[in-house]
Each structure stands twice: as C-alpha cells, then as structure tokens.
Amino acid sequence: MENLDTLRYQINVSRGMTPPDLLLWGGKIVNIFSGEIYQANVAICNNMIAGIGDNYIDGLDIYNVEGLYLIPGLIDAHVHIESSMLAPHEYAKAVIPHGTTTIICDPHEIANVMGKEGIKYILEASKNIPLNLFVTASSCVPSTGLETSGAAIFSKDIEEILHWDRVIGLAEVMNVPDVLDGNTDVLEKILIARKMGHPIDGHAPSLTGKDLNTYIGLGIGSDHESTTRNEALEKLRLGMYVMIREGSAARNLEELYPIVSPATYSRCMLVSDDRHPGDLLKEGHMDHLLRKGIQLGLDPIMALSMVTINPARAFMLKGLGALAPGYKADIVAVNNLKEFKVHTVIKDGKVVVKGERLMVDFPYMLEEKTRETVRVKEFNIDRLKIKVSGNRIRVIELIPGQIYTKHIVEEVSKERDGEVKTNPEKDLLKIAVIERHHATGNIGLGFVRGFGMKHGAIGSSVAHDSHNIIVIGTNDRDIFIAAQKIMELGGGHVVVSGGEILGSLSLPIAGLLSDKSLEELVFEEERLLQAARGLGVRILSPFIKLSFLALPVIPELKITDRGLVDVNRFELVGLEP
C-alpha cells in the first residue's frame, strides 16, 4: 500500500541515497519509447522501477543479467484462458516462464456456463499469483438468442461486475446485429461502460462500411476478428486498435502483418485469443507470437510494442508495458530479439523464473460448485435420427486453419422413411448439440464435412460459446455413447468407436477446465488425439475445430442446441434449404 513513507523511500532510491531492493546489473535495455537498445542497470524498490542508468551500482540484492536483453513483461490483450483448459493457477504456471506477466481475460466461456459466479471464480482463483490477470466484463452471455446457455448476464449485472476489483472494461461485443438494431440491453451495457470510462472491446468479423462506422462510433475501440488486410486496414483508418490474432484455432498473423508500419504499429496488438494446451507447452505464449512475427518481417521493437505498451495504453493499464521510472517492475530478460528465449522473469520486483524454473509457489483454489454444471434431460438414441422430405440438405463445411465455415447444400440419398444417414466415404458426418445446462431436452442435429472420420465419434462439453455437449460421428450408436460418457464425466472430451470408449479427458471445472497441470493435461490430450486419429480424423486439432462449430457469431453456417444457424442472416434455418 502506497503512503508518504513508501514515496520517500522511492525518492531516496531514485536519487541514489538508499540502495534499491534489487539491482539488475549489466543488461541491455530495450526502450520501446525511443526505439533504442543500450546497456544500463535497473534499480527496483516497492515493486517499481526506481531508476535506470549506469550510475546505479549497488543494491540490497544484485542480479547479474549481463549480455541479456531486458524487455517489459509481455501482455496478452485478448485471451480466453478457458481455451487452455487450465485452472487459473496452472495457466499462470504455463505462461509466466514464457515472459507473460499480464493478461486481459474475457471469461465469457465460464460465464456462459455459470454466469457471474463463473467470473467470480476466475477472479478469486487468480488472487495472489504472480500474474496480472485482468478481466473484461462478458458482454454477450449468451452470445445470441439462437442457443441455450447456462446463464445470462444483463446490463444491471454488467454495472455490478465493472465495479469489481481487476475488472477493467467491457468484453468483446459479439452480437453485432443487436448493436446495429439498437437493442436496449446491448446499448445499456455499452452506455454503462462509457459512463464509467472503461474501454470497450469489439468482435466484428467482416463488418464494413456504414455498419462498421456505426459500431465504432458507439465507442467500441478494438477488434481481433480481422482475417484480411483490407478488413484490418479499414478498422485502423476508422480509429480502432487492431488485434492481430495468432491462436490455436485462428491464425491471422501471416495475412495481417503487412499492415504494421511505422505509421500504424502504435494502433496494433498481437493477441492469442485461444491458445491450446499442446501449443502452450510446445511453442509458448506471447514469446511465440513475437518469434513468428519477426520471422515474417516485423521490426522487433514494433512487435514488442504490440505486446507491451500498446495493450497497456488501449486498456488504460497505467504503469505497465514499459521499462521506465514509476513503471511496475515486471521485467523479462531474453537472449536476443529474434529468438526471445526467456532467461529470467521478474514480477513485482521479485525473480519468479530463473532459467526455465519457477521460483515461487502458486495458491490453488477449486470451488465445488464449479463441478456441478452438466444437467441433461435423459433421451434415447432415436432422438438422433434425421429425417427429411426432399433430397437436398445444408452442410457445414470446414475451412482449413479458420474458425469460419462454409454453408453448402448437398444432394443426399435417404431411407424409405426419409432418414438421412452419414456417408463417411464422402466425409459426411452427423453432428449433434445437446443442451446441458437446464435439462431442456433440446438437441440440434445436422451434418458436417471436413473431419475425414471413417468410423466412430468424438465429443466434448467445450462448444463455444454456450458450451453444450457437441458430438460428431459416423453412426448414432457411437454418438449416443460419447454423449453419455461426457455426462458421466461431468464434462470433458471423449473418443468412441464400435460401441467402446477409446479415450476420455475429464474437465470437471464447469465442463471446461482440468484440475491437472499443463504437462499432465497435454499427455492425456495427446493420447486422446491419437485415438481420434485412429478413427481417420485428419485435421490437426479436431476438438478445437469441433468446439467452434457451435459458435453462432462466426460465419457462415453453425449449429446450436436449437438447430442450424445461418450466421450471415443471423437466424435459425432448417436442414432442408
């Protein structure tokens, strides 16, 4: 807690009259304000940087970083930690050794399952860990009225949440049609955030022209959904912060990095959005985005600004994002500005990572109520049958490397009673979304192409954004068994073939998160992926891809527990066109 004594102590350290708590000796300062790199010592006290310069030569503790580059702690400005399937303390263990000291988290996945209680869990479970975990208040729970979520967050809830500690803004406003139509509840949420002076994050895929002007004009200041350079450039020209996303499901960096220039970089950020556990373990976090961006041709200091000072400014995080007097002593020592191999991480003026080893303990918290979130009305296998009157059906077709899908129409053969069955030879699989929050009995059914599955079924309780149970398969029996196993687990991933469960991964926290470490989780996940590949599944991350098929705010055709959704028209449509 700051007081007059702490300020006087800082003055004495800054003036060289009192030795700092910690002196970083001999490092190369990467100055994102001037674009320079130069050798200087860093004096730290009260968890802050008190001074930088060669004239600081003593300290109560001296830490040698000679030959290393000192950069600000990295910031992920837009992430859903639920995509990692890690509890908050395990997530922190996973990203801090990669130089991440701050994340801005939209917990709308767990909020769609548990409402305000889910957001409270993320905040409570992240207390006292060496990671600045800020939250934006989830604005679209549910994301649309075209699905059944576990909870709803209204404007009165947003006003309450925005007063909570570490809640710093309004999270991505996904329901663009309601914004443009002037929906009262959506506008009230935006108005509340504006009146409180909070930043408002956006989600506007393919929005352009007058509609984009309207959306931005309401105060929505950032967006992570650009997939083409023209789209990103239009948003930049209209004053938005453009978040260039490079996650596990959507990878846009290679397409978008050319928009970054000396004129535009201060309005650009690199974000992960969704980062899968295997990718966290094998590639890293924001350090991976820096490496890839620089390999593609980004200037290192521009790239570094995009994961430090730019997000700090966009979200009004005073004292974060730079190495300068008065800034928080969140500092990372790396080998160079190409590989960004992390040697040391200093958080709040204390060494928390040395080499690749964590030097601190992490508190653990798990509330029992997070384990009671799967409630499904009993159903029999006949509910999975699909019957049509004609011979043409809508099909969801995957697009490699994207969470967008195509809306195609296919001619199919059918049984005498009108039932349409799967056709693995043509890669035509059945997909089912089973409501799991209120036991409504809703089951949305359709067909999907692109997985390459030859037999069996895979399923999950992770299905953005409402996280109902989602299963794809070649036959009803395996689909049914997969759904039953997910219910038994209280949430998780499952692989089934020939009526047998080949593998499962339990996600007991809200049906979204594991209670295991990153290494344990990745080991179990790899075994599950091998089982899925044994079914003929050919895509790299089938469970991630599966989870986004239920997201009715990303074009073109998706499916929820209420049926198929034509996202371009933003309405439910029948299986037959």
Residue 505, phi-psi category: left (phi > 0), alpha (psi -120 to 50), beta (remainder): beta
- Looking at the DSSP bridge assignments, the partners of residue 342 are 334
CATH number of 4-67: 2.30.40.10
* Cα-to-chain-centroid distance, residue 46: 32
Structure tokens at 151: 């909870």
Sequence-separated (6 or more) residues with CB below 8 Å from residue 512: 82, 85, 109, 110, 113, 461, 462, 467, 491
Provide the CB-side half-sphere exposure for 393 (13 A, CA): 26
Kindly report the average pLDDT of the chain as a whole number: 95
Q: What is the pLDDT of residue 368?
A: 74
- This model's pTM is above 0.85: yes
DSSP structure string for 119-140: HHHHHHHTTTSSSEEEEEEP--
Helix (H, G, I), strand (E, B) or coil at 36: coil
Q: At what angle do helices 116-125 and 88-95 cross, to 10 degrees?
A: 50
Helix, strand, coil percentages, rounded to 5, for the chain: 30, 25, 45
Neighbours of 419 (CB within 10 A): 12
Q: What is the pLDDT of residue 417?
A: 92
Q: Per the omega criterion (within 30 degrees of 0), is the bond before 556 cis?
A: yes
Mean pLDDT of 235-245: 98
> pLDDT tens-digit profile of 286-312?
999 999 999 999 999 999 999 999 999
Q: Give, in order, the Cα–Cα distances in Å from 42 to each of 271, 289, 562.
A: 28, 27, 58
Q: What is the pLDDT of residue 366?
A: 64
> pLDDT tens-digit profile of 547-571?
999 999 889 999 999 999 999 999 9
Residues 445, 430 contacting (CB under 8 angstroms): yes
Hunting for tokens 């040697």 — which residue is that?
343
Mean pLDDT of 363-389: 88
Q: What is the pLDDT of residue 440?
A: 97
Q: Give, in order, the Cα–Cα distances in Å from 18 to each of 11, 23, 442.
A: 9, 12, 68
Mean pLDDT of 117-145: 94
Q: What is the pLDDT of residue 249?
A: 78
Task: Give the closest residue to 349 by CA, choosing from 41, 16, 42, 5.
Answer: 42
**Secondary structure letter of residue 359 according to DSSP:** -
Q: Per the omega criterion (within 30 degrees of 0), is the bond before 508 cis?
A: no
Q: Is the pLDDT at 356 greater than 90, yes or no?
A: no
Provide the CB-side half-sphere exposure for 242 (13 A, CA): 28
First to last CA, the chain: 63
Q: What is the pLDDT of residue 201?
A: 98
> pLDDT tens-digit profile of 60-73?
999 999 999 999 99
The domain segmentation of the chain, as residue ranges, is 4-67, 82-301, 370-573
Edge-to-edge strand ranges of the sheet holding 241-245:
74-79, 100-105, 132-137, 167-173, 200-202, 220-223, 241-245, 268-271
Alpha-carbon span 108 to 139, nearest angstrom: 8
Confidence tier at 144 by pLDDT (50, 70, 90):
confident
Alpha-carbon span 428 to 448, nearest angstrom: 6
Mean pLDDT of 447-468: 96
Q: What is the pLDDT of residue 362?
A: 82
Edge-to-edge strand ranges of the sheet holding 571-573:
557-560, 563-566, 571-573
Alpha-carbon span 170 to 179, nearest angstrom: 14
Alpha-carbon span 529 to 371, nearest angstrom: 24
Confidence tier at 371 by pLDDT (50, 70, 90):
confident
Task: Compute, in degrees rounded to 10, the torsion defined by CA atoms 150, 173, 193, 78.
Answer: 90
Structure tokens at 490: 């209280």
3-state secondary structure 172-208: EECCHHHHHCCCHHHHHHHHHHHHCCCCEEECCCCCC
Q: What is the pLDDT of residue 503?
A: 97
Residue 377, phi-psi category: left (phi > 0), alpha (psi -120 to 50), beta (remainder): beta
Alpha-carbon span 463 to 546, nearest angstrom: 7
Alpha-carbon span 436 to 198, nearest angstrom: 34
> pLDDT tens-digit profile of 75-85?
999 999 999 99
82-301 fold: TIM Barrel (3.20.20)
Our CA angle for 258, 263, 264, nearest 5°, is 55
Q: What is the pLDDT of residue 416?
A: 87
Helix (H, G, I), strand (E, B) or coil at 219: coil
